[in-house]
Amino acid sequence: MELIVGMGNPGVQYQMSRHNIGFQVMDRIAIINHVLISNKRFKTLYGKGWIDSQEVVLAKPMTFMNRTGGAVKKLVNFFTIGMDDLIVIHDDLDLPFGRLRFKRRGGDGGHQGVRSIIESMGGNNFLRLKVGIGRPPKGIDPAEYVLDSFGESEEPILDKILDRTADALKVMLLEGLETAMNRYQRRIKKEG
């Protein structure tokens, strides 16, 4: 069984923010795979189901991003998941908008949610699927930028990015990390 955690902040005001792309991906994965994310435990919404032949728990911690680790640790313990079977989906400022990157181990890259998970888990040997949101324009504070909604030029391709991220995760689960990395770690092209 794999525990897949989409990161975001709870509350309607953050629902469509760049920082909540992990929640948006999780919702898309749930719809595609007919998993109902409705159970509540450990300050988390989660659902159990299948992505083809792989049993999964899809989770959305309802804590603020910088406190995600405690909820994730409780889920890992409850479902007796090894750190190798934990996948965290989150936004990344340092990747261009739409770019995907898989990563195992390493630091938090300045991401408070990832830092919280590393600290709570006592290690970093979990898989991350980073979804690029790009850097803010000059003069815009990154903390404000991540809490802002996607821009007009980004919205038309957001659906494709969510679908592509769900596909990348499925390929990783069924065909392996290397195959997924080779197939999906490139930028999505804008239409026009």
- With 0-12 / 13-18 / 19 or more C-beta atoms within 10 angstroms meaning exposed / middle / buried, residue 16 is middle
The reply to whether 19 belongs to the active site is yes
Sequence-distant (6+) residues with CB within 8 A of 58 are 4, 6, 26, 29, 30, 35, 37, 46, 47, 48, 49
Q: Which of 19, 34, 90, 111 is catalytic?
A: 19
- What distance in Å separates the CA atoms of residue 181 and residue 94, rounded to the nearest whole number? 18
Cite the active site residues: 19
